[in-house]
Chain A
């Protein structure tokens, strides 16, 4: 395996940031040629942008789950950016996290890792919680760039979340309402609005995957998202399992996401 921390200057964020990248490479079991080392594999790597949740960082998936041990068996590069508690938004007087993950990050990742495929059919996004929202937003706002996107316990109805969390730590710490100043509508930050727009454009959409625990507080937001997807006649894959908003759920079901995306056998 190959593990990297890639630190580069981001113009969208106005500072140097760390992004974690992992990819499968030579193993102990691979043939060792005495005189020369053949190029490892000719097939380009698929790319998964894997997003963290609120109060988290670019290392969460690596430290808290078995992601790396699953990825070893496949042919995909996993890119994990840091987005503080931005909700993957361009913050009103702060760093532009939406511009960062939707535009700048791929521009800085693809030239740095020449093995990575640039094809839409090889490009994916997924995330947990705040990251599930982010991944779906990428799939709906930039459908021409992604083959499939997945949400694990995603906060998929942001308008409802903002209303539900008024005055709590979530609304103080997570920046989902920074752009809206008591407005009723949240524009393109609302996945339910993006779903309508995506359906109207009739462009080729990515495949969609939702997974949520039945005891999870984001369960109602996932039901709202399902309803909107059904109303817009956009197909999706949905799973629910016993579980709450916790790492044991994400550690378990990340494997299903990777298999559904065909990133691992």
Chain B
């Protein structure tokens, strides 16, 4: 796989940001077998693309450091974009950079213009870990015309249950979630169940959903609750769980499994 490390101006963020992109290209093993010329990259193919969102305290380099995403993506034959989201929960905050607009509106179009990937509404997928799982799932439910499939790993899907700063938790989310009491987010646009309900009540397209969580994960109950909410709303999903906690030991093999799900209907 080729890797393209990018630094570029974002209109949504009103500043520079970075991302890493993996793309299928002829590798050493391809050259060894004399198969380079037949490689889809050299035939001008535009690849299915997965936008993978990192978690809290992380950045655009985290996923490629903590997982074997490159070999999984190569096997799946897809491009992977790993953008930066700071600690934004991938929302447009009252104060701060507009990460929802960036990830859901600007980025898929910008990347499609710049690199050989498919665009919004085509084979364009999203996924994420922890805070990135909340981000990916919420954005797929809110922008199903852009993202047709979503994979979410161990997300804090119920924002009203996020631990408050005074309980010894890092005070990282106040800016992203409005700075007030997280209870007040119920029923708002940051409430993922609210976004899901709005989608379920209408006739817009629905993304295919893959939810994964470790059974020892602190968000396992949220994972179970979210499945119940989706069932009640009539939103179809695939759920996978295994022994494991909130961390990369669980997420790396879960990612491989999810990519199998992502591409099982590809020819």
Contact = CB atoms under 8 A, between A and B. Distances in A.
Interface of A: 1-9, 11, 23, 25-28, 30, 32, 35-37, 39-40, 107-108, 111-115
B116 A37 contact: no
A9 B25 CA distance: 8
Nearest to A110: B44
B116 A2 contact: no
Interface residues of B, number: 30
A4 B106 contact: no
Contacts of B113: 39-40, 114-115
A2 B11 contact: no
B9 A26 contact: yes
B44 A111 contact: yes
B71 interface: no
Nearest to A23: B114
Contacts of A107: 42
A40 B8 CA distance: 14
Contacts of A115: 113-114
Interface of A is mostly: loop
Contact of A2 (B3, B6, B44): B6
B109 interface: yes
B9 A28 contact: yes
12 contacts: A2-B9, A4-B4, A4-B5, A8-B25, A9-B26, A25-B110, A30-B11, A37-B105, A39-B113, A111-B44, A112-B25, A114-B113
Given A5-B5, A11-B28, 17 more contacts: A2-B8, A2-B9, A3-B7, A3-B8, A6-B2, A6-B4, A9-B26, A28-B14, A32-B11, A37-B106, A39-B109, A111-B42, A111-B44, A112-B23, A112-B116, A114-B116, A115-B113
B146 to A, nearest CB: 11
The 5 closest A-B pairs by CB, nearest first: A8-B2, A2-B8, A11-B31, A3-B7, A5-B5
Contacts of A35: 105
Contacts of B109: 36-37, 39
Interface in B1-59: 2-11, 14, 23, 25-28, 31, 36, 41-42, 44, 46
